[in-house]
A and B are shown apart, each in its own frame.
Chain A
């Protein structure tokens, strides 16, 4: 709470900005003062966008990506390989993979990872929906692209077991872990180096 040095309507805006992730009192005040100083159109545009996001954006009923239309444009795209599904934690990860431009299959967004400390179990993620897609879409390969954190890895192992239990002929793969671009071996931790050596690739001539 602020100390109330500003008029109440301004205080209220500051308070609302502090609800945003990573925004403290200082940044919130700066943002509110910026809105106050800028032209009316800026505030109106912002207010409209805020409401539009809440009204229009929903989850694709197939892959659970954020979308204006259901199914989303990726699920509708006939040029994408429909038998390969890449499983990601959140919409941000999907966007990052799309920006890389190398993947031409479909996606499945889990909306989180298994995290007992945060009270999140399998029933809180879109796991049952993924298992259902195997049959209805005739999926041949599932790429597990959860992040290589403790919880992301545990989620990937959980999914691999569940997927193979449902379809033992399914190809289940995990994205490679290793030395990042611009990395320096001297500063890598032993785990990363172990992974990098294990998942080494032949150089084709």
Chain B
């Protein structure tokens, strides 16, 4: 069997045995994989500092059959995102994005776009992108890629089309918005202005090249944040472990 090479983002790493490392990594072409790097703590030649949490590396590996642990041959560092190391809040947000990725795209689920999203988000974080904005961009887009878009087209109760005018209310059980005739704004069903709904639509459907230049007003950020969080908690079914380390 010939080894396969994928660009990969390392999402977990732990010491294994005397001199090995157990590594989980996300690839564009084979999804999330987990495997052993034999002798990685000794061999600097095959693994020259490329097995580091959240590094982007070219990974050379073999997998006997789907679902098995992979065997890592070697790797080469592409980008270490050094900014993540110089700030604890960045590390916490990177960890959160990695955990959300693992939850939404478990081993066997392959989507090139989530790889690109995580890679671009780590890059943005490295360059000092605002954390609270990056968080909602990542959450909204990752949920949409996983098939959990918030339905912004019609009222989830009466079915009336949302024409882009007037406020609407988020309904977490339906995973959509409702009109003011059907729903009432409360803490667990927060309201959204038309600009916020439009921004949310863009977040859910755009690639990173468009997202990174998206201009969000402070009001939109304030409104979208609780909506995405409620939606995510309801869909994922439990809070993420890393969430408590975010500001």
Contact = CB atoms under 8 A, between A and B. Distances in A.
Given A117-B98, A117-B242, A188 B86 contact: no
Nearest to A192: B49
B123 interface: no
Contact of B245 (A116, A151, A157): A116
Contacts of A117: 12, 53, 95, 98-99, 241-242
B242 A116 contact: yes
Chain A interface residue bracket vs B = 20 to 34
Secondary structure class of chain A's binding surface, majority of residues: helix
A93 interface: no
Contact of A151 (B49, B91, B241): B91
A154 B90 CA distance: 9
A149 B22 CA distance: 15
Interface in B24-60: 44-45, 48-50, 52-55
A151 B53 contact: yes
B48 to A, nearest CB: 5
Interface string A133-151: 0000000000000000111
Interface in A20-57: 22
Contacts of B69: none
A116 B44 contact: no
B208 interface: no
A151 B13 CA distance: 11
A183 interface: yes
B91 A150 contact: yes
Interface stretch (B77-85, B135-143, B172-180, B223-231): B77-85
Nearest to A158: B88
Given A117-B242, A119-B241, A191-B77, A150 B52 contact: yes
A183 B53 CA distance: 23
Given A116-B95, A119-B241, A190-B77, A150 B88 contact: no
A15 interface: no
B58 to A, nearest CB: 12
B87 interface: yes
B16 interface: yes
A151 B16 CA distance: 18
Contacts of B124: none
A157 B85 contact: yes
Nearest to B18: A22
Contact of B91 (A22, A116, A183): A116
18 contacts: A116-B242, A117-B12, A117-B242, A121-B244, A121-B245, A122-B88, A150-B52, A153-B85, A154-B85, A154-B86, A155-B88, A157-B86, A157-B87, A189-B49, A189-B50, A191-B77, A191-B80, A192-B48
